[in-house]
Structures are given as structure tokens and as C-alpha cells.
Amino acid sequence: MNQPLQHTTVLLDEAVDALLGGAGPQPAGTWVDATFGRGGHSRRILLRLGPQGRLVAFDKDPEAIQEAARITDARFSIRHEGFRHLADLPEGSADGILMDLGVSSPQIDSPGRGFSFRFDGPLDMRMDTTRGQSVAEWLADAEVGQIAEVIREYGEERFAGPIAKAIVARRQERGPLATTAELADLVAGAVKTREPGQNPATRTFQALRIFINAELEELQQALEASLRVLRPGGRLVVISFHSLEDRIVKQFIAQHSKEVYDRRAPFAPPQPMRFKALERVKPGAAEVEANPRARSAVMRVAERTEVPA
């Protein structure tokens, strides 16, 4: 019998402590786990909430929704939607929002999902397998320039051009790529130099996954929604795993952590700051040793400031 794939939640205690910080023991109110995954953060939050607390979770992965069904706590609910749908929550309704932007281990380690070059499987990579285009379907029609732009922008890959040309040449000679192994082998032939300890396909797989799921666009939409949904004093906690995500989070918090003056109306009062940056946290050495996938994680914490009357 196959053993269920396990997932180790990164920065579990640190994230929940930051989210609930200042809320007191057994807090009430409404809290949001915007990226349920396999439920590590949600389960820990529920342990800490009081009887009047409520946890709303989001995830677009059908397997995550199946895992969430195992939680029978009446204080918990989940929506089969991406976290950009935070915008659908009432204004000022959330006491805290947690976003864990990592791909869960069961997603990576399941060959059928197509996220990893370590296993041969269909070239899919969709977070929500019930809708949208797979990577294989997109690569079957995309032009060289489009493929190169995606790999360069989302993977920061120096050899994006040669990789894109190789993908299209292969398509013309033998038909479209269909499996992860085919793509990984093709990329390995196109990448001339490799970073120590990194598979040459790493950046390409990252880029295609981010693109096909519109991950950065959804992150930006979710962050903007948090401004409206968080009540004053509510916490925003975001864990990111690569520089593109962390840069968006860092710039978003910085942008809203200062007063903004309108140069066209120099005597008008400034637009008040809407967030206060609190901390930046990296996993400790013990966590990284126990879970190497934690090594790139960065957690940023901000607090929603008072909204002037």
C-alpha cells in the first residue's frame, strides 16, 4: 500500500505566533489561512483560537480541499478558490491573514502533478487540476519569444532563449513535450553551465509553474485585498520561498508603511500609512537541517494601522 505523502509546514510556530500576536489567549474573531495547503497552519491556529474564534481558509488545489474535509471543527470553513478571492470577504472582517506561498511537499512529490523533474509524470503543474491550461498544452502552441520571456521573467534563467528554441525545435521534429522527464532532459541539453548543487531544469520548472498558475499576479491581488479586509490592528503574515515573491511582499509592505504626499496638492494632509512593518524571520538552522525545503523561506509580518475617520 502506498503511504500518504507527508508535508512539513515551514515556520509553523513562528507564523502562528506572529499571526495571533497581541490577540491574547484563546482569541475570538475571524482569521484567514489564505493558502491551506495540507493544513499545518490551519490546525495549529484552531488549537489556539477560543470557542468564538473562526478560521476561513482558501485553496484552489482539489487535493487540499479533500484534506480540509478531514477537519470537523465547526469553527473552520474552506473555500475552493485561489487567495485572490480574499477580496470577496467583507471589509474589515479579518483579525489576521496568513499566506504561505510554498508548494506543498505532496504536490512536489506526486509524479501525477508534474511539478518536479525528479519524477517522470505528465507535464501539468496546475494548482487547480479542474480548470485552466496545463504546461504541456501551453508549450504545444506557444511561440519561441513567449516561452523565452516566461522562463526569463519568472525563472531568472540566463539560457531562456536557447531553452525556448530547443522546446520549439523538439515540437517541430517529434511533437510537443508531454512529460516532466522530456522537458528536464531537453533543458539539460540547452543549459551550458550549471549552478553548483542545482539541477539545470530548476529555474525553467519554477518559471512555468509560476506562469501557468498566475502566481505573482494572484499574490499582488491578494495583498491589495488584505488592505481592505484586515481590521485595524490585524496582522498580515506572508511566507515566501523565492526572490520574486519576497520582492513583491517586501515592496508592498514598504509602500504602505509610509505616509504619501500628493505633490499636486502640497498643503493637503498626507495619505496615512496603512501598514506597520514588524519583522522579517528566517528558519533556524535546526529547522533547515530537519527540512531542507525550508532553507529559502522568508516570513514578513506587518500590522494594519488605524484608518482615520
Q: Please give the Cα distance from 303 to 277 (Å, whole number).
A: 7
234 is in an annotated binding site: no
Phi, psi of 225 (to 5 degrees): -65, -35
Q: Which CATH number fits domain 12-100+215-304: 3.40.50.300, 3.40.50.150, 3.30.70.270, 3.40.470.10?
A: 3.40.50.150
| Domain limits, CATH 1.10.150.170, in the chain | 132-213
- Output the CA–CA distances (angstroms, integers) from residue 74 to 13, 41, 54, 150, in the order listed: 23, 17, 8, 43
Q: Please give the Cα distance from 76 to 177 (Å, whole number).
A: 41
Kindly report, residue by residue over 127-181, the tens digit of the pLDDT: 999 999 999 999 999 999 999 999 999 999 999 999 999 999 999 999 999 999 9
Kindly report, residue by residue over 218-247, the tens digit of the pLDDT: 999 999 999 999 999 999 999 999 999 999
33 is in an annotated binding site: no
Comparing 22-36, 169-183, 270-284, the range with the smallest average pLDDT is: 270-284
Q: Which of 8, 20, 22 is nearest to 55 (CA)?
A: 20
109 is in an annotated binding site: no
CATH topology of domain 132-213: DNA polymerase; domain 1 (1.10.150)
Kindly report, residue by residue over 185-215, the tens digit of the pLDDT: 999 999 988 778 788 999 999 999 999 999 9
107 is in an annotated binding site: yes
41 is in an annotated binding site: yes
